């Protein structure tokens, strides 16, 4: 019986150690994400928002963060066969009209997923 208590105590100690290291790793990841939130190709979120608002009504090219890619934007909007036109923007969302060979689509895109915005050559 003492042997079983010793074994359970060892397993309990191992589980406690795993949880304490896991908690530390989670806290470190949360700090990293907090630092990264809102970063983009532009210096900060306000610079990205200013650039976006100045491009309303213009044809632009959009680079989205790798984990938040959109097929319509990458396959049509950023190519010579189509275009992205910014219709509206605020602190959280970007309304984009995408011209595709099959027609127009309007999409809402989170500002956090935008990495870079620039004016396409035909608009300059």
- pLDDT 10s digits, 36-66: 554 444 556 777 788 888 889 988 888 888 7
Counting the structural domains of the chain, the total is 2
Whether residue 57 sits in one domain with residue 117: yes
Whether residue 59 sits in one domain with residue 115: yes
Whether residue 71 sits in one domain with residue 16: no
Whether residue 32 sits in one domain with residue 51: no
Q: Any idea what the CATH number is for the domain that residue 85 is in?
A: 2.30.30.100
pLDDT tens digits along 82-122: 788 899 988 888 899 988 878 888 989 888 888 888 776 55
Whether residue 50 sits in one domain with residue 33: no
Whether residue 74 sits in one domain with residue 33: no
Whether residue 104 sits in one domain with residue 61: yes
The helix/strand count (H/E) of the chain reads as: 3, 5
Whether residue 117 sits in one domain with residue 101: yes
Range of the domain at 16: 1-37
Please tell me the distance from the alpha carbon of residue 56 to that of residue 86, in angstroms, as a whole number.
5
pLDDT for 87 equals 92
Question: Which stretches within the chain are classed as H helix?
Answer: 2-36, 45-54, 71-72
């Amino acid at each position: 019986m003492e042997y079983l208590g010793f074994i359970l105590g060892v397993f309990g100690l191992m589980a406690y150690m795993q949880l304490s290291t896991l908690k530390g790793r989670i806290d470190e990841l949360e700090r990293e994400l907090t630092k990264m939130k809102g970063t983009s190709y532009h210096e900060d979120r306000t610079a990205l928002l200013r650039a976006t608002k100045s491009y309303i009504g213009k044809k632009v090219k959009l680079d989205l963060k790798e984990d938040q890619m959109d097929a319509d934007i990458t396959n049509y909007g950023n190519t010579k066969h189509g275009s992205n036109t910014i219709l509206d923007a605020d602190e959280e969302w970007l309304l984009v009209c995408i011209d595709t060979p099959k027609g127009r689509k309007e999409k809402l895109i989170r500002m956090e997923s935008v990495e870079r915005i620039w004016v396409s050559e035909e608009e300059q």
